[in-house]
Chain A
Amino acid sequence: MTYLRPYFASVLLLAGSQIQAAEPAQENRIIETWGYSAKTPATGVERGRQVYEQWCAICHETGPGMAGTQGLQRKYKGAVSPLLREREDLSAEFVEYIVRNGIASMPFFRKTEITDQDLQFLNDYLVKKGD
């Protein structure tokens, strides 16, 4: 099997759990992608992590070609972590503002992409509570 990066693998397990046996003879039919199926599988921090992996990690993780991470490195010059998931200073209001307004080249996201509920879950994951 082709190598999976860890953050891919977790999303994929989710997708796999949603495969419906619409036509039992063909197990490869109908794969609900991670999003808004009737079987939405998680809430809270876990759903927030999934939202992060689907929408944020593709630009804000480690490794080459991550424009979001590179941009935050240029902006803060190491004063804070360039990785969103390591940031200690993010507030829910700030995350919501950026998701709905965009910043620099990062566009904003519609509510069919990240629902208000998912945005709250994303904050459950990203915003450190100080505990």
Chain B
Amino acid sequence: MRVPQGVSEGDFKLALQEWAAIVGQEWVFVSEEDVILYRDAYSPKWGQTDEPLASAAVAPKKTEEVQAVMRVANKYRIPVYAFSTGKNIGYGGSSPIYDGSVAIDLKRMDRIVEINDKRHYAIVEPGVTLFDLYRAIQEKGYRLSMEMMDPAWGSVIGNALDHGCAHTTTYGRDRFHDHCGMEVVLPTGELVRTGMGALPGSDMFADFHYGFGPFVDGMFSQSNFGVVTQMGFQLRPEHEAYRSGMVYVRKFEDLERLIEIETHCVNSGIANGMTHFGSPVQGPPLSGGPKEMKAFFEQKELMKLLKVKGRPDAKKLEAYAAQNNMGYWSADLKFHGPEKIIAAQWEYCREKFNEIPGCWTEDHGPVVTFPLSPEQEAQLNTPGHAEKVHLGIPSLNRFAFQAFFNDLRSTPEARSTGHLFFAPIIPKSGAELLKAMDVFYDAMVELGIPVPPGHYGRMPIGWFHRCFIYLVAFNVTKVESLNRKEVDAYRELIKIAGEHGWGEYRTHNLFNDDVMNVYSYNDNALRKLHETIKDAVDPNGILAAGKSGIWPRQLREQRGGEGA
């Protein structure tokens, strides 16, 4: 049995007994073979002496049990951390930040409290996954659409709390923004409901965000201020149809206008799905799948133009694009709604983009209508057709992409076994994107991170519709020396991005301090505010030490990175 730091063995044994009395002996895990299952499957510190590991795990079934578990943790001052389903692998999964903390595993809290098909919302517990909610909606025959991400086996709540994003509609992709109502167990064990949930007898938990008074819901996202045990989420009436359209422009200089017009269309609500930008002459289409990616890299003449130091020659690429009827840049726009209406929305967007000389547009795959026929569903996730995730249908399609990239990166000595992304937010502008490509190219070369051909064609993701997320993929293996190099490089990228005003929106457990350290305005005033709140709501400092760089008073010397 491993005892958490700062706790006596005697106290820990008493706590385990009391937890067992609350949740049942079978749901308290202390043996090595059980507890090791809480490690991060994709840990960049795999097998290293400082890999953060849980000391034990407790799995409550009900909110009342969570409250009681927290009271015991307070009684014996035991560091704990809570997670919903533990499926955010790439961000730390079910492992703690502070080594030796006890896991509060909420997977067993898997009730869908309510699905309302008239007022279009669902209220769920943390163990409910996107697959679970989707299946329940289908089984009940409700004509509702869900916002969706992929892989979809994670928690609806956990994803939202970590500021996760869907791939579906402009108004729903920001998952935390799309919630309404929270039930939270404070670190002391006290139970709070926010918004209308605070009004006894109200049936509007998931209808009206605010209730009365300060809107405190945000406090419980990416934080260690409470354990969320229920959340409401908005649903929408089933989208009657979906369509996607490609926009191509010919010139390097067209990028700025392409992004400006797309932003106009998106911010006016006309293009209401997630746009994928691309550069057909510089990188493979993300929407195509592994075969299309392979085909891209097999274009020998093009590879000669791309495999150069720094930015490829734009004029040569423009000429190649013209010869091969390819765009220099592209935008894949998506539309959700009634068939006639989205046809008009696409038509409006086409006209706007046609202001760019030489621009051309194409329908991208067939229009999909709901309810799906078996034939339509069988086509999804295949080249030329929509991905399930864009339609709000759960899948694990992203693991197929990951397997493709992992095979590319693997060597006989070091097999790639996971994923880790550096993902800063950058402004949604052509100039700033081109600058970011240069900055990260130079940084990757300097830090010894392999720069894949097609670096200048790897376009940012628009999960949050008013900004870009620029992704740099890291290679995760089980080889310590390689992983250490990747972790060090990741930390440097955080600092380099910060120097340009770009910060990560979410990060792996290992980098919470590093990321928070760049959000340092006015002598780290935001972090100090977080700490003030932490000390108030968690006086014994037991919950999820280190999340978002927030350490309890007694552990603040643990803070890592420069600026600590």
Contacts and interface: CB of A to CB of B under 8 A. Distances in A.
B347 interface: no
Contact of B59 (A1, A28, A63, A112): A112
A1 B141 contact: yes
A35 B108 contact: yes
B481 interface: no
A81 interface: no
Interface residues of A, number: 44
A26 B114 CA distance: 9
User: Which of the four size classes fits the interface of chain B?
Assistant: 35 or more
Contacts of A76: none
B127 A35 contact: yes
Contacts of B128: 33
Interface string A14-38: 0110000000001011111111100
A33 B37 contact: no
B116 interface: yes
A23 B34 CA distance: 38
A32 B111 contact: yes
Interface string B27-60: 1010001100110011000000000000001010
Interface in B91-115: 93-94, 105, 107-108, 110-115
Interface in B352-384: 370-374, 377-378, 380-382
Given A3-B373, A59-B396, A29 B37 contact: no
B116 A67 contact: no
Nearest to B34: A111
Contacts of A87: none
Given A30-B112, A58-B153, A65-B395, A108 B41 contact: yes
A104 B406 contact: yes
A107 B396 contact: no
B287 interface: no
Given A59-B399, A65-B396, A100-B37, A3 B139 contact: no
B135 interface: yes
B250 interface: no
B136 A12 contact: yes
Contacts of A16: 139-140
A58 B131 contact: yes
A109 B89 CA distance: 12
A120 B394 CA distance: 27
A60 to B, nearest CB: 10
Contacts of B41: 102, 107-108
A31 B128 CA distance: 10
B114 A28 contact: yes
Contact of A28 (B38, B86, B117, B289): B117
Nearest to B370: A2
Interface in B444-465: none
A11 interface: yes
A91 to B, nearest CB: 19
A31 to B, nearest CB: 4
B110 A71 contact: no
Given A2-B371, A58-B153, A64 B399 contact: no
A67 B402 contact: yes
A38 to B, nearest CB: 9
A112 B406 contact: no
Nearest to A109: B37
Given A32-B110, A105-B402, A113-B107, A67 B417 contact: no
Contacts, number: 140
Interface in A104-131: 104-105, 107-113
Contacts of A13: 139
A94 interface: no
B132 interface: yes
A58 B395 contact: yes
B331 to A, nearest CB: 24
Contacts of A102: 41
Contacts of B382: 64
A39 interface: no
B37 A36 contact: no
Contacts of B107: 110, 112-113
A31 B371 contact: no
A29 B380 contact: no
B429 interface: no
A66 interface: yes
Contacts of B371: 1-3
Contact of B374 (A3, A26, A71, A111): A3
B388 interface: yes
A70 B400 contact: yes
B402 A112 contact: no
A91 B234 CA distance: 45
B128 to A, nearest CB: 6
B143 interface: yes
Interface in A25-62: 26, 28-36, 58-59
Interface in A70-91: 70-71, 74
A58 B397 CA distance: 9
A36 B138 contact: no
Contacts of B114: 26, 28-30
Given A1-B138, A32-B110, A105-B418, 9 more contacts: A3-B373, A29-B113, A30-B111, A30-B114, A31-B111, A31-B136, A58-B131, A67-B402, A110-B94
13 contacts: A3-B372, A4-B138, A4-B139, A12-B136, A28-B114, A36-B108, A65-B381, A67-B400, A104-B403, A105-B419, A107-B41, A108-B41, A111-B34
Interface of A: 1-5, 8-9, 11-13, 15-16, 26, 28-36, 58-59, 63-68, 70-71, 74, 100, 102, 104-105, 107-113
Interface of B: 27, 29, 33-34, 37-38, 41-42, 57, 59, 61, 85-86, 89, 93-94, 105, 107-108, 110-117, 127-129, 131-132, 135-136, 138-141, 143, 153, 238, 289, 370-374, 377-378, 380-382, 387-388, 394-397, 399-400, 402-403, 406-407, 415, 417-419
Query: What 9 pairs across the A-B complex have the smallest Cβ distances?
Result: A12-B139, A107-B41, A67-B399, A65-B397, A65-B381, A64-B381, A31-B112, A2-B371, A112-B107
